[in-house]
Structure 1
Amino acid sequence: MKFAQTCSFVFTVLLLFVSVSAVHGATYTVLQNIIDDSNPGSLRWAINMANANPGPDTIAFNITTGPGPLYTIYPDSQLPLLFDPSGVLIDGFTQPGSSAGANPPSTAVLTVEVNGARAGLSHGFWIVSPMNTIQGLVVDSFEQDGIRIQATPDPGTFINIVYCCFIGTDPTGLMDWGNGWNQMSFWAGVNIICTPEPPGFAFDNIVDRCLISGNWSEGVSISNCPPGDVYMNAVLDCYIGVDIVGMADLGNDHDGVYIGEAAHDNIIDGNVISGNDYSGVGIVGYQPQGLYTNNNIVFNNLIGLASDGVTPMLNLRNGVSIGQYGPGGNYGYACGNIVDSNTIAHNGRNGVMIWEDQSNTINADNNMIRRNSIYSNALLGIDLGDNGVTPNDGGDPDTGPNEEINFPVITSALYVSPQTTISGTVDIDTDPTQAFVEVFQAMSDPSGYGEGMGFLGSTNPDAAGNWSLSVTGLIAGDTVTATTTDMLRNTSEFGLNVAVVSSVEEERVRAPLRYALTQNSPNPFSDVTKIRFSIMQTTYIDLIVYDVSGRCVKVLATGLYSAGTYTVYWDGFDENNQPVPSGVYFYGLATDEFTSTRTLIKAR
Structure 2
Amino acid sequence: MSAPARVAAGEAFDVRLALAGAPGDVAGYETDLRFDTGSAEFAGVQPRRGNSLAALDRGVVPLSARHADGVSLGLVTCSTSDCVRPRQGRRASGRAAGTVRLGRLSMLPTAEGQLELDFAGSLLVDVAGNTVRVAAPSGLTVKVGGSRRRLAAPERVVAPSPSSDGVAVPDLTLDGVVSHADVMEGALEWVRLRERNGGDCRGSSPGDVNRDGCVDVADLQLLTTDASEIAASGTSPNDRHGLAPMASLDAEGAGTTLTVDYGRDGSDVKPGDGVCKAASGLCTLRAAIEEANALTGPNTINFAIGTGGLKTITLKSQLPSLSDQSGPTTIDGYSQPGAAPNTDPVISNAKIMIQVVGGGENLFDALIITSPGNVLKGLSIYNSYVGVRIYGSAALGNVLKGNFIGTNAAGTYAAARVAGSSGIVNREAASDTRIGGTAPAQRNVISGNAYTGIHTYDAGTSDLVIQGNIIGLSPTGGQIGPNRGHGFDANAGVNGVVLGGTGPGERNVLSGNARGGVELSHGTGVTNNRIIGNYIGTDVTGNAITSYTGNGTHGIRLEDRVSYNTISENVFGGNVGSATKFDYVYHNTFKHNRVGIGVNGGVIPNTEYGLLLTRDAAWNTVGPGNIISNETAGVSLTSIAGTDFNTITQNSMYGNVGLGIDLAPLGAVNPNDPGDTDSGANEQLNFPELSEATTATVSGTACANCTVEVFKADS
> How does the TM-score come out when normalised to structure 1?
0.55
Structure 2 counterpart of 1:161: 465
The reply on whether 1:320 has 2:611 as its aligned counterpart is yes
The structure with the largest alpha-carbon Rg is 1
Tell me the residue number matched to 1:137.
444
- Say whether residues 1:295 and 2:587 are aligned partners: yes
* Alignment of 1:395 onto 2:691: no
| Structure 1 residue 59: Cα displacement | 5.0
The amino acid across from 2:659 in the alignment is: L
More helix per residue: 2
Counterparts of 2:283 and 2:620, CA distance in 1: 54
**Aligned counterparts of 1:422 and 1:29: Cα–Cα separation in 2:** 70
Deviation at 1:70, TM superposition (A): 3.0
Equivalent in the alignment of 2:649: 370
The secondary structure found in structure 1 opposite 2:389 is coil
Q: Does 1:234 align with 2:530?
A: yes
Alignment-mate amino acid for residue 432 of structure 2: M
2:567 maps to which of 246, 268, 286: 268
CA 50–299 in structure 1, closer or farther in 2 if over 3 Å, else same: farther
Query: Cα distance 1:29–1:349, how it changes in 2: closer, same or farther (>3 A)?
Result: farther
The change in CA–CA distance for 1:114 and 1:333 in structure 2 (over 3 A counts) is: farther
- The partner residue of 1:381 within 653, 656, 660 is 660
Secondary structure of the corresponding residue to residue 691 of structure 2: strand
Deviation at 1:217, TM superposition (A): 0.7
Q: What pairs with 1:450-465 in structure 2 (closer than 5 Å)?
A: none
C-alpha distance in 2, partners of 1:213/1:206?
18
2:458 alignment counterpart: 151
Aligned partner of 1:76 in structure 2 is 384
Residues 206 and 58 of structure 1: CA distance in aligned 2, closer, same or farther (over 3 Å): farther
Q: Is the 8 A contact 2:621 2:646 kept in 1?
A: yes
Helix, strand or coil at the partner of 2:425: strand
Aligned-pair CA distance for 1:82? 0.4
Q: Secondary structure at the match of 1:436?
A: coil
The amino acid that maps onto 2:435 is I
Amino acid of the structure 2 residue aligned with 1:190: F
Q: Which residue of 2 aligns with 1:87?
A: 396
Cα distance between partner residues in 1 of 2:563 and 2:476: 34
Which of residues 445, 462, 483 is equivalent to 1:179?
A: 483
Structure 1 distance, partners of 2:300, 2:420, is 27
Q: What one-letter code is carried by the residue in structure 2 that aligns with 1:440?
A: F
Q: Secondary structure at the match of 2:490?
A: strand
- Aligned partners of 2:299 and 2:327 also within 8 Å: no
Deviation at residue 318 of structure 1 after TM alignment:
0.2
TM-fit CA distance, 1:205: 1.2
* Match runs of 1:204-215 below 5 Å: 204-208=496-500, 209-215=507-513
The AA in structure 2 aligned to 1:77 is: Y
Shift of 1:111: 8.2
Deviation of residue 87 (structure 1)?
2.0
Which digits, 9 at most, give the CA deviation of each residue in 1:293-330, with x for residues without a partner? 1011111111111221x11100110001111xxxxxxx
User: What per-residue deviation string (whole Å, max 9, x for no partner) do you get for residues 546-569 of structure 1?
Assistant: xxxxxxxxxxxxxxxxxxxxxxxx
* Residue pair 1:56, 1:88 contacting (<8 A) in 2 also: no
Q: Deviations over 1:322-380 (max 9, x none)?
A: 11xxxxxxxx21001111134433343110001132xxx3x111111111111111111
State whether residues 337 and 367 of structure 1, in contact with CA within 8 Å, keep that contact through their aligned partners in structure 2.
yes
Shift of 1:38: 4.1
Asked if 1 retains the 8 angstrom alpha-carbon contact of 2:396 and 2:431, the reply is yes
Q: Residues 118 and 217 (structure 1 numbering): CA distance in 2 closer, same or farther, change over 3 Å?
A: closer
SS in 1 for 2:386: coil
The answer (yes or no) to whether the contact 1:333–1:356 under 8 Å persists in 2 is: no
User: What is the CA–CA distance in structure 1 between the aligned matches of 2:538 and 2:387, rounded to whole Å?
Assistant: 28
Which residue identity is paired with 2:637?
Answer: I
Query: Is the CA contact 1:218–1:252 (under 8 Å) kept in the aligned structure 2?
Result: yes
Please tell me whether residue 438 in structure 1 is matched to residue 714 in structure 2: no
Give the one of 679, 685, 701 matched to 1:425.
Answer: 701
Distance in 2 between the 1:168 and 1:281 partners? Answer: 18
Given that 1:343 and 1:373 are in contact with CA atoms closer than 8 Å, whether structure 2 keeps it comes out as yes
Please state how far the C-alpha of 1:259 moved relative to its aligned partner.
Answer: 0.3
CA contact (8 A) 1:274 1:314 kept: yes
1-side partners of 2:337 and 2:415: how far apart? 20
Q: Deviations over 1:73-97 (max 9, x none)?
A: 324332352014242433424x8xx
Instruction: Give the 3-state SS of the residue equivalent to 2:693 in structure 1.
Output: strand
Instruction: Measure the CA separation in 2 of the matches of 1:56 and 1:131.
Output: 15
Higher relative strand content: 1
Q: 2:494 aligns with which of 191, 202, 210?
A: 202
Q: Equivalent residue of 2:710, what SS?
A: strand
Provide the C-alpha distance between the structure 2 equivalents of 1:28 and 1:388, rounded to a whole number of angstroms: 64
Q: Look up the equivalent residue of 1:53 and give its one-letter code.
A: Q
Offset at residue 207 of structure 1 (A): 1.0
Structure 2 SS opposite 1:402: helix
Q: In structure 2, do the counterparts of structure 1 residues 390 and 426 end up closer, same or farther at CA, with 3 Å as the change threshold? A: farther
Report the Cα offset of residue 160 of structure 1. Answer: 1.2
How big is each residue's C-alpha offset from its partner over 1:550-604, in whole Å with a ceiling of 9 and x where there is no partner?
xxxxxxxxxxxxxxxxxxxxxxxxxxxxxxxxxxxxxxxxxxxxxxxxxxxxxxx
Q: Given the two structures, how large is their TM-score scaled by the length of structure 2?
A: 0.47
**Are positions 1:339 and 2:622 aligned together?**
yes
Q: CA shift at 1:408, angstroms?
A: 1.7
* Corresponding residue SS for 2:612: strand
User: Match for 2:398: what amino acid?
Assistant: L
The CA distance in 1 between the partners of 2:315 and 2:412, in whole Å, is 14
SS at match of 2:602: coil
Letter in 2 for 1:230: V
Change (3 A) 1:177 1:30: farther
- Quick check: 53-62 or 69-78, which moved more? 53-62
Q: CA deviation at 1:258?
A: 0.5
Deviations 1:479-533 (A, max 9, x none): xxxxxxxxxxxxxxxxxxxxxxxxxxxxxxxxxxxxxxxxxxxxxxxxxxxxxxx
Counterpart CA distance in 1 for 2:636 and 2:683 is: 14
Calculate percent identity across the aligned residue pairs: 26
Contact kept in structure 2, 1:188 and 1:217, CA below 8 Å: yes
Asked if the contact 2:292–2:324 (Cα under 8 Å) also holds between the matched residues in 1, the reply is no
Give 3-state SS (helix, strand or coil) of 2:452's partner. Answer: coil
Supply the distance in 2 between the matched residues of 1:118 and 1:212 (Cα, whole angstroms): 20
Structure 2: how far apart are the matches of 1:342 and 1:114? 39
297-306 vs 53-62, which moves further: 53-62
From 400, 409, 423, the counterpart of 2:689: 409
Q: 1:147 to 1:159 in 2, by over 3 A?
A: same
Cα deviation, residue 424, structure 1: 2.3
Contact 2:628 2:654 in 1 (8 A): yes
Secondary structure class of the residue paired with 1:412: coil
User: What code does the residue aligned with 2:653 have?
Assistant: I
Q: Tell whether 2:283 aligns with 1:283.
A: no
Deviations, residues 107-143 of structure 1 (Å, cap 9, x unaligned): xxx9896965379541000000111111121011111
8 Å Cα contact 1:55/1:87 also seen in 2? no
Q: Over residues 268-309 of structure 1, what are the superposed CA-to-partner deviations in whole Å (9 max), with x where a residue is unaligned? A: 111111110101111011xxxxxxx1011111111111221x
Query: Paired residues, what number?
Result: 368
